[in-house]
Amino acid sequence: MPLRVNFFRTKTGGEVPVRLSDFKKCGFLTLLTVLFFWPQSAASGAPEIYSGRVISVQDGDTLTLQTVDFERLRVRFYGIDAPEKNQSMGPQSAEALKKLVDGRDVTVEVIDTDRYSRAVALVRLDQTLINLTMVEEGWAWLYPQYCKLKDVCTLVSAAEQKAKNSGLGLWREKDPTPPWQWRRNKRQ
């Protein structure tokens, strides 16, 4: 049985097994470089956790964090999707997120990285999960296509239904268009 090295994470948070023989084409030095420089947290499968101050809010599900090491980290909220800036209720959703976190210290638990190189993460202010708060207050949807952590997604789904039934935030509109559908319609 071939030796397996499990350290390449997939978009769903799983790991892709890679045999050492797969590196023969790249060369032994490439293998050594990857093993030496690969972050310990990624190699162990442990989530990366950052703390820092929110320095800007792009929209209702994206912010920029300045970490305690003075690095800037662009963060996309895991499991939710908020209206785009130029979509109906987009500015209100962004403003709601600003009121919650702008200029405040948060903790970010990175679940994945998206195609735009943003950290896809759970964002906490003290003990409050802001991903969930945005949905509870009616400013974002559960993003079922990408929400795969059962415990989180169950909470977010219930929060969405409650906000919808209460007519909160974007649910004040008669039939709000989910952002993924709005983006698809814009491309057509």
| Contact between residue 48 and residue 41 where contact means Cβ atoms under 8 Å apart | yes
Would you identify the CATH topology of the domain 48-187? Answer: OB fold (Dihydrolipoamide Acetyltransferase, E2P) (2.40.50)
How far is Cα 52 from Cα 72, in angstroms, rounded to an integer?
9
Domain ranges of the chain: 4-44, 48-187
Q: Where are the beta strands (DSSP E) in the chain?
A: 4-9, 15-19, 48-59, 62-67, 72-77, 80-81, 105-113, 119-125, 128-129, 141-142
What's residue 34's pLDDT?
44
What's residue 11's pLDDT?
46
Compute the mean pLDDT over every residue in the chain, rounded to the nearest whole number: 85
pLDDT tens for 107-163 read 999 999 999 999 999 999 999 999 999 999 999 999 999 999 999 999 999 999 999
Max Cα separation, the chain? Answer: 61
pLDDT tens for 34-54 read 445 444 444 556 789 999 999
pLDDT tens for 70-84 read 999 999 999 999 999
Q: Could you please report the per-residue DSSP string of 125-161? A: ETTEEHHHHHHHTTS-EE-TTT---HHHHHHHHHHHH
